[in-house]
Every structure is written in C-alpha cells, then in structure tokens.
C-alpha cells in the first residue's frame, strides 16, 4: 500500500537524490542547458521590451494632434510655415503678431503650433512647424532633425497637424505655404532639399511664398540682387516662385538696441509686404491707414523707450568704469 512520506522522509529522499546526481553528467548537462535557456529568455525579454518601447516612441512621433478643426470662412487664411530648423520660422510668426518682438525669445519648435492673428477683420491661421534639418548640416534626406525624427516622420507629423486643424487630406486646405530660408552667406543645400520635399505635396491651389529671414539690416539694393540671384541660380525657386513672391523679414535683437531707430521701421516695412501677400484680398484703404498709424505710434513709443534704456545702460557702464579706475589707483 502506497503512503505519503512525511516531511522528514521527503527531505531525506531529496538529499539522497542530490548526492547521487551531484557528480553525474546528467545534472551538469541539465544545469548548463538551464543556464543557456535562462539567458536566451532574458535576452528575448529585453529585446521585446526595447521593441515595444521604440514602437511607442515612433507612434508618439507621428501621432495626429487631437485638436478642434478650424472652420473655414472667406475672411480667413490657413498658412503653413515651412523650412529648416533655426532659420527664423518662429521669429517670422512673432513679428507678424508684434513687430517689436525680441528674436532672443524665440525657441526651437518641437511640435506644430497654431496661432491665429487678426488683421483688419481678417484671420490668419498660421501653423509653425518643426524644421526638417538642422541648420548647417549636410542636406541628405535621411538626416534627423533636433527631435531625432526622420524627414519622413517630420513630414507626417506636419501633415497630421494640418489635417486636424485645417481639415481635408494632408495639405489640401492650406491656402498659403510660406517657405523660410536664411542666406548667411548663401543658399544652403538643406533649403533646396526642404523645398523639393514639400512642394510636390502641396495642392495646386496653394499659394507659395519664399521669405528670406534675418534681413532687417539689408538694403533694397541687396534685396533686389538676392531675388535675381535666387531666380537665376536655383531651378526649384525659378520654377515655383515669381519675383513678387520672394520676400524678406527681420526681427529685433535686444542686444543691439542702439540701432533700433533704424532696424524697427525696416522690420515693419518688410512685415507689411508679407501681410499684403497673406491676406485673402486687398486690405481696405481705411483699415490699412488706421493700422499704419497705429504701427507708427508703436514704433515711436518703443524706440523712445529702448533708446532711453540704452542711454541709461551706457551711463551705468561709464560710471562703473570710473569706479573701477578709482579702485585701481
């Protein structure tokens, strides 16, 4: 008759079995196999975990922005700012809102951001976007931007945001695409690649504007020369932009307030030429005159304040120099 062994008996049986198999090849073989199996399972678990993590990150990178779609009306325009990283897209947006914005305050755009600017009863729905390439890097299509997205992923993120906020499919409901480039000292390969990447994806009805940034100190003669050179030496620009579609923009820099009386009026003038291209129709003369007078008043007030601050800073620096000289004597 079979009986269940007690705990003490079970312990003795287990110890005898262990003693018997301790030096046997079976136990060594099994132990070795168990270790290998455990290592393989651990490696598989790690790889699977990494795969799932990467998958979630990739899904986050191209996930559509879940925000309300803007209702289209005749007095509004959907505008997309495009270009490489750090060329001045955000600076242009801020200047359109307020010409006295300080360029030092602008940060790198990580995700598409929509801003509505009201001008004379018109609404400009401007979407700022992440750049395709880092400025100064070699223009290859696989080059990641600062968020470590591939070019393809960045385009998908921008397309998703445009669909979500403007409606339609992809860039279908974009009224105006504003491409920004910086000529320091010349047109870069990345800018051409950015144009070639986005232009085929735009609707035929989408208006295209090319804006050259950081031009607040440039003369009219320089602007005319740059337009001619771009049209002559760049096939993609020649095929897609007319002379009046190549514009210029600039922004203030608080580190250079001494020249603000010269640069701010120029910034406002460049801003007006861009606004005229962005509005859905010609601005009524009465509305323009009113806005023009408001801009002149703002320029005067801001310039006087900045010049007073600059004079105060100069006085403090001079006083500091004199105090330092007294200490050194």
Is 91 in contact with 103 (CB distance < 8 Å)? yes
Measured distance CA(288)–CA(272) in Å, rounded: 10
Hey, is 213 helix, strand or coil? coil
The whole-angstrom separation of Cα 246 and Cα 207 is 12
Q: Where are the domains of the chain?
A: 63-307
Query: What pLDDT, in 10s, does the model give residues 127-152?
Result: 999 988 765 444 333 444 555 678 88
Element (H, E) at 78: strand 76-83
Say what the pLDDT of residue 56 is.
57
Provide the CA 237 distance to its chain's centre, in angstroms: 22
The residue among 82, 97, 101 whose CA lies nearest residue 211 is 82
**Cα separation of 204 and 210, whole Å?**
16
Residues lower than pLDDT 50 in the chain: 1-2, 62-65, 136-144, 317, 320, 322, 324-325, 327-329
Half-sphere exposure of 69 (CA within 13 A, CB side): 14
Looking at CATH, the fold of the domain delimited by 63-307 is given as Rossmann fold (3.40.50)
pLDDT at 36: 52
| Integer angstrom CA distances of residue 281 from 75, 77, 96, 285, 295 | 8, 10, 17, 12, 21
* Strand duo 122-128 + 207-212: pairing: unpaired
Alpha carbon separation from 133 to 94, 126, 145 (Å, rounded)? 21, 21, 5
Task: Determine whether 56 is exposed, middle or buried from the number of CB atoms within 10 Å of its CB (0-12, 13-18, 19+).
Answer: exposed
What b-and-e string marks burial along 241-277, b requiring 16 or more CB atoms within 10 Å of the CB? beeebbbbbbbbeeeebeebeebbbbbbebbeebbee
Residue 144: per-residue pLDDT: 46
Nearest partner of 145 among 134, 136, 156, 137, judged by Cα: 134
pLDDT for residue 137: 40
Residue 15 confidence (pLDDT): 56
Say if residues 163 and 69 touch (Cβ distance below 8 Å): no
CA distances to 15, 16, 24, 146, 207 from 10, in Å = 9, 10, 22, 65, 87
**Predicted pLDDT at 324:** 46
Q: What is the pLDDT of residue 315?
A: 58
pLDDT at 329: 41
Angle at CA 264, nearest 5°, toward 259 and 266? 105
Residues 6 or more apart in contact with residue 306 via CB below 8 angstroms: 257, 260
Q: Measured between alpha carbons, how far is 276 from 176 in angstroms, rounded to an integer?
A: 12
pLDDT of residue 235: 92
Q: Give the per-residue pLDDT at 262.
A: 80
């Amino acid at each position: 008759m079979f009986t269940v062994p007690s705990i003490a008996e079970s312990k003795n049986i287990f110890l005898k079995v262990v003693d018997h198999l301790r030096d046997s090849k079976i136990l060594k073989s099994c132990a070795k196999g168990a270790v290998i199996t455990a290592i393989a399972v651990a490696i598989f678990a790690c790889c699977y975990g990494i795969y799932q993590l990467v998958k979630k990150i990739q899904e986050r990178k191209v996930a559509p922005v879940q925000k309300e779609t803007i209702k289209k009306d005749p007095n509004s325009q959907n505008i997309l700012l495009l270009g490489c990283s750090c060329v001045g897209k955000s600076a242009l947006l801020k200047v359109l809102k307020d010409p006295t914005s300080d360029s030092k305050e602008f940060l790198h755009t990580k995700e598409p951001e929509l801003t509505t600017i009201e001008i004379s009863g018109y609404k400009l729905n401007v979407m700022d976007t992440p750049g395709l390439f880092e400025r100064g890097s070699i223009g290859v299509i696989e080059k990641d931007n600062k968020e470590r997205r591939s070019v393809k992923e960045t385009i998908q993120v921008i397309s998703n945001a445009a669909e979500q906020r403007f409606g339609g499919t992809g860039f279908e409901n974009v009224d105006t695409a504003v491409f920004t480039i910086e000529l320091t000292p010349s047109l870069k390969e990345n800018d051409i690649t950015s144009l070639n990447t986005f232009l085929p994806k735009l609707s035929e009805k989408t208006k295209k504007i090319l804006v050259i940034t950081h031009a607040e100190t440039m003369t009219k003669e320089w602007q005319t020369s740059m337009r001619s050179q771009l049209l002559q030496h760049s096939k993609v620009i020649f095929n897609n932009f007319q002379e009046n579609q190549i514009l210029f923009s600039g922004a203030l820099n608080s580190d250079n307030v001494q020249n603000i009386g010269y640069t701010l009026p120029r910034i406002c003038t460049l801003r007006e030429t861009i606004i005229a291209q962005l509005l859905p129709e010609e601005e009524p003369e009465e509305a323009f005159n009113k806005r023009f007078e408001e801009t002149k008043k703002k320029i005067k007030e801001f310039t006087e304040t900045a010049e007073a601050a600059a004079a105060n800073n100069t006085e403090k620096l001079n006083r500091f120099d004199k105090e330092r000289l007294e200490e050194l004597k």
